[in-house]
Amino acid sequence: MGCSPAPVSAGAATPAAAAAPAPARVVVAVDRSESTAPWRGQQLALLDTVAMDASLDHRSLDLWAFDRTAVRVWGPNIPDTPKNLLPVKQKEFAPNAASPRRITRPALLLQALAGDPETGRASGPLRVLLLSDGDSEQAEDEPLLKKSAAALAAKHPDLQLLVIGVNPASRAMWDRAVAPVLGERFKAVTVGEADAELRRFHNR
């Protein structure tokens, strides 16, 4: 004679539903050095695209500016619309004739992100987008770029790094320093490839 299943009491614990994965945090870093001035409008248009996607997807956006230093200029927060960023864009990315920014050191940006407590608290996947031509005026920065990429990847195993706007002269440095560390989690593309790569970037 078969045994009937034991009745479950009203107070018995039931298996917890699987928690929804934390949404990705998107870090956008805009290279504001003189070498990117000719395509500044394209940089900021791409920033608006990412901000709109973050708003629609309820993703946190963390905006940085970099040249010879790296600094957070907005967030991390979920933007209501790209208009939230208008005052920051006008202040941080307008040409500055009185104090032109001639030096770019992207290695210092990755170093700052790797050591940043706020970035370290990100619970979901980390997506880092650099709007930059990829230049680094300090030749000795290549080892630092590799070291900083490795440090950031160690803290965020789900890191994705995309550089949009890289020029052919700079691509080789990124391929030597970053590609061996991140593998398929790293991509450097031209502005013409931006739309397709941004779609992949958000869907990874």
pLDDT, the chain, mean? 86
Cα torsion 127, 128, 129, 134 to 10°: value is -150
Give all domains of the chain, ordered by start, each with its CATH number: 22-125+141-159+180-186 (3.40.50.410)
Q: Is 162 strand, coil or helix? A: strand
Q: What is the C-alpha separation between 131 and 50, in angstroms, rounded?
A: 11
* pLDDT at residue 16, rounded to an integer: 47
Asked whether residue 2 carries a pLDDT value surpassing 80, the answer given is no
E strands, 137-202, are 160-164, 186-189
Give residue-wise pLDDT tens across range 128-138: 999 999 998 78
One-letter amino acid of 42: Q
Secondary structure (DSSP) of 48-89: HHHHHHHHHHT-EEEEEEESSSEEEEEEEE--SSGGGGHHHH
β-strands 186-189, 160-164: how paired?
parallel
| Neighbouring C-beta atoms of residue 100, cutoff 10 Å | 12
∠ Cα 117 118 122 (to 5°):
110
The rounded distance, in Å, linking the Cα atoms of 72 and 85 is 13
Convert the pLDDT of each residue in 26-78 to its tens digit.
999 999 998 898 999 999 999 999 999 999 988 899 999 999 899 999 999 99
Residue 92's nearest CA partner among 116, 76, 73 is: 73
**Mean pLDDT, residues 1-29:** 62
Average pLDDT over residues 105-132: 92
Provide mean pLDDT across the span 163-187.
94
Query: What pLDDT does 104 receive?
Result: 87
Q: Is the preceding omega at residue 100 within 30 degrees of 0, hence cis?
A: no
Predicted local confidence at residue 112, as pLDDT:
96
Distance (Å, rounded) from C-alpha 107 to C-alpha 138? 10
